[in-house]
Structure 1
């Protein structure tokens, strides 16, 4: 009898820390139609995980229609190194901001994306869900 291998931790750092992908961002990414992210921070974390997994369909689906690009491409060879959420602020019931730092490496060069992102909650088709609108870089 062999020991069961542990599930890999979620790229976003997990909620709680070290949570498996399926128990963290995977439930939102894999079941977008049925399980929307409950708040802006959970959506932002799941979007980070989608970047790590190069899941353009999820990223576009969670991008607000007013700012959504027609398509996405990914830099081949990008290695995502980690996510640090610096703050989550609810402005009102349907608007929020999340400040984060995402670290990556591309062709041996380390980079940091420090952004304060804006999110809006809307209910297209009757189901309320959060959408990424835009952000300010630091």
Structure 2
């Protein structure tokens, strides 16, 4: 678990306290990339409440199952691009890597869609591009 004086798990190069912590505590993300990074950090921290709160109501699952969260090790995040399509829509492409137990690392490459409603960004859904 990261403390305020540790590096943010989203790999922004900033401390958690100045990066994702304010968003995890209820501040609005300034853009879709910041929201996406904070969601990655929430996965690292096992914060299902934050993930559900930032998931758009039209696609949000009832609950999240992290499986064996203790066995999951998040290895890194690489934001490929952030495109603001208009004032209310954006796309973020990223690659997240993780490992469960002793299994080989998994590379999750997603192009995510975000929408802004009433001044807050929400994750809508994503697609996995062909390799």
Q: Same fold (TM over 0.5)?
A: yes
Partner of 2:75: 81
| 1:122 equivalenced with 2:114 (yes/no) | no
Distance 1:102 1:118 in 2: 16
Deviations 1:55-81 (A, max 9, x none): 000000000000000000113111000
Alignment partners' CA distance in 1, 2:9 and 2:98? 12
How many angstroms apart in 1 are the aligned matches of 2:123 and 2:28? 13
1:69 aligns with 2:61: yes
For residue 8 of structure 2, what is the aligned residue in structure 1?
10
TM-score of the aligned structures, taking structure 1 as reference length = 0.86
In 1: Cα distance, 2:96 partner to 2:20 partner? 16
Counterparts of 1:136 and 1:122 in 2: how far apart (Å)? 21
Q: What count of residue pairs does the alignment treat as equivalent?
A: 123
Distance 1:82 1:75 in 2: 19
